[in-house]
Structures are given as structure tokens and as C-alpha cells.
């Protein structure tokens, strides 16, 4: 059997996580916000356990507040690029972090699906990156906006996945040395 990674599957040595704008001000506006935060945190713990790159952004923190504490505990707080562009790639610091990560596959989660997540995913695809969108770790204020954005991302070439699917896909085998630790995150 070939060592090549089948198309559409995550590969542990070439993947990074991008967490977009999971900030305090969204808490009251986003349905299921607490579950979204937990799923983003699970992904961050998974990537940290696997020693894979994590990049997180904050959209205009002066107005939207900082990253939520639950998620902030999983991140390097010194390394949260602040942006005003909707796409994370419009932020020089975020773009530099992603490029320096050397990943050709990016798992994306965060807020809001139809604005910052959508524009970032489309920019990543245009930059020839494979993009996996964790659908249980993204949200919009309105379901229709989320659904239309997901449809657009998938039609553009993004792979729709879930946080748990991404975690197990990165490990690929129950014999993986971090299997027990990561399995625990999803119970």
C-alpha cells in the first residue's frame, strides 16, 4: 500500500488548525455558542497533543472582545493576531503564521461562517491549500447564512468534516501513540 495520503484525508505531518474569531461578544448572538467553543477547544487540544501548528485570530478585539477564556487556555495568548479584514489571510501576522507552519492542509473553525470563515476558506483554496471545515465548530447568527456559506465552501472545494472526524483522521490508527489521550477529548 502506498504511503501517499488519499485525496481529501488529513495528514498529520502536513496539517494546521486555524481558529477564526471565537470572541466573547459573539456569545449572546450565536446559537449553540458554548458547544461551538467546546468543539474548537477539542480541536486545539488535539492539534496541541499531536504537536501540530495552531493559528488563531481575533476580529477587531476592541469591539468584539478577546478570545473566550475556555479557548484561550488552549492557545498561546501571545500569538493571537488582531485583524480588521474578514479573511484571516488579509491579516499579515496570521498569513505569516500559516505560511511558516508549512502546512498544505488547513482545518478551519470559528466565527462567523458566512463572513470571516467563508472568506478565509475561499482565500486558502485560492492559495492552493486543501481546506477542511469542521462544521460542528463553526456558526453564524442565522442558520440560513451558515447553510449557504457551507454550500459555497463545499462547491469551491473545501472538505466538510467534524471535529471528531478530523481528530481520528489525523491519527489514522488506534495504535497511534496519542490515541488514548485524544480519544478522551471526544467523550
Known catalytic residues are: 21, 83, 116
Sign, Cα dihedral of 142, 145, 148, 152: negative
Half-sphere exposure of 141 (CA within 13 A, CB side): 7
Regarding beta strands 54-59 and 105-111, do their DSSP bridges make them parallel or antiparallel, or are they unpaired? unpaired
What's the distance, CA 18 to chain centroid?
4
d(CA 162, CA 88): 21
d(CA 167, CA 47): 8
Amino acid at each position: 500500500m502506498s504511503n501517499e495520503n488519499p485525496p481529501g484525508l488529513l495528514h498529520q505531518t502536513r496539517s494546521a488548525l486555524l481558529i477564526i474569531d471565537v470572541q466573547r461578544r459573539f456569545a449572546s448572538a450565536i446559537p449553540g455558542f458554548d458547544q461551538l467553543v467546546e468543539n474548537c477547544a477539542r480541536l486545539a487540544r488535539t492539534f496541541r497533543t499531536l504537536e501540530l501548528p495552531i493559528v488563531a485570530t481575533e476580529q477587531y478585539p476592541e469591539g468584539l472582545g478577546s478570545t473566550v477564556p475556555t479557548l484561550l487556555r488552549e492557545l498561546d495568548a501571545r500569538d493571537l493576531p488582531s485583524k480588521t479584514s474578514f479573511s484571516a489571510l488579509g491579516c499579515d501576522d496570521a498569513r505569516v503564521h500559516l505560511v511558516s507552519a508549512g502546512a498544505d492542509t488547513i482545518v478551519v473553525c470559528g466565527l462567523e461562517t458566512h463572513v470571516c470563515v467563508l472568506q478565509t476558506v475561499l482565500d486558502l483554496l485560492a492559495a492552493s491549500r486543501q481546506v477542511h471545515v469542521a462544521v460542528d465548530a463553526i456558526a453564524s447568527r442565522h442558520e440560513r447564512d451558515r447553510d449557504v456559506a457551507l454550500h459555497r465552501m463545499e462547491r469551491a472545494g473545501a472538505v466538510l468534516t467534524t471535529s471528531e472526524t478530523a481528530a481520528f483522521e489525523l491519527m489514522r490508527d488506534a495504535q497511534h501513540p496519542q490515541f488514548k489521550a485524544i480519544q478522551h477529548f471526544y467523550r
